[in-house]
Amino acid sequence: MIAPAPIIAPSILAADFAHLADDIARVSDADWLHIDVMDGHFVPNLSFGLPVMEAVAKVTDKPLDVHLMIERPELWVDGYVGAGAKTVIFHVEATEEPIALAKHLRAEGCRAGFSLRPSTPIEPYLSMLPHFDQVLVMSVEPGFGGQSFMPDQLEKVRTLRKYIDNNHLPVTIEIDGGIGAETIAQAAEAGCDAFVAGSAVYKAADPNAMVTQLRDLAAAAR
């Protein structure tokens, strides 16, 4: 079987917020757009919330990959689903009822994803994977763009890859944090399907060319 092409998801956290529509147009070759929502509580930073998500949804047809770095995500997910999220990812550290929330998202027609902080082990969560469409492995401490990639998190990716393949689960493994031309190959080799890149894409002179370069590097490494 030929593996599907790697998914590249630029994070608009690294875009120019005063010219968001222009910066979204500059990544027209991206597969998804990654939307980093931070509440200043779950993470020590605030980014943006639903009004910005709604505005973004109006100017793009790209699937929106929504990463909720917020406490009590169950109170907020409906807004993001209503705004057209393709996938909503919440943190397992932020909710008591991850499976109930995943079921709710799926019932609403949205893909369900969970994420974990670098210090959170994956093993206790493997058995809930049948309820999910995606796992987002954090390769930096959530809260800020532009941090250095943590290679030790690839062990989590390998564990997930093995479990997902052995159980024939249709779950996408995505990685987030410090992904760029120097780091994407090792993440792809470990078994990631989807790659978030903020700084690497938006600091590039040609963001679209960087998207293509990242996809090619990931495809070659798998």
Q: How far is the C-alpha of 124 from the C-alpha of 104, rounded, in Å?
A: 21
Binding mask 77-106 for ligand DX5 (x = CB under 6 A): ------------------------------
86, exposed or middle or buried, with CB in 10 Å at 0-12, 13-18, 19+?
Answer: middle
Q: Which is nearer to ligand DX5, 82 or 146 (CB)?
A: 146
Q: How far is the C-alpha of 58 from the C-alpha of 78, rounded, in Å?
A: 17
Q: Which of 6, 145, 191, 207 binds ligand DX5 (CB under 6 A)?
A: 145
Number of chain positions touching Zn ion (CB under 5 A): 3
Q: How far is the C-alpha of 42 from the C-alpha of 143, rounded, in Å?
A: 9
Q: Which of 7, 8, 14, 33 binds ligand DX5 (CB under 6 A)?
A: 14
Tell which residue, 198, 210, 182, has the closest CA to residue 35: 198
Is residue 36 part of the annotated active site? The answer reads: yes
Least distance between Zn ion and beta carbon 131 (Å):
21
Task: Indicate whether 91 belongs to the interface with Zn ion (CB under 5 A).
Answer: no
Q: Kindly state the greatest CA–CA separation across the chain.
A: 46
Task: Indicate whether 36 belongs to the interface with Zn ion (CB under 5 A).
Answer: yes
The answer to whether the CB of 214 falls within 8 A of the CB of 200 is yes
Q: How many CB atoms lie within 10 A of CB 33?
A: 22
Binding mask 38-67 for Zn ion (x = CB under 5 A): -----------------------------x
Which residues are part of the catalytic machinery?
Answer: 36, 176
- What residues make contact with Zn ion under the rule CB under 5 A? 36, 67, 176
- What residues make contact with ligand DX5 under the rule CB under 6 A? 11, 13-14, 34, 36, 67, 69, 140, 142-147, 176-179, 196-200
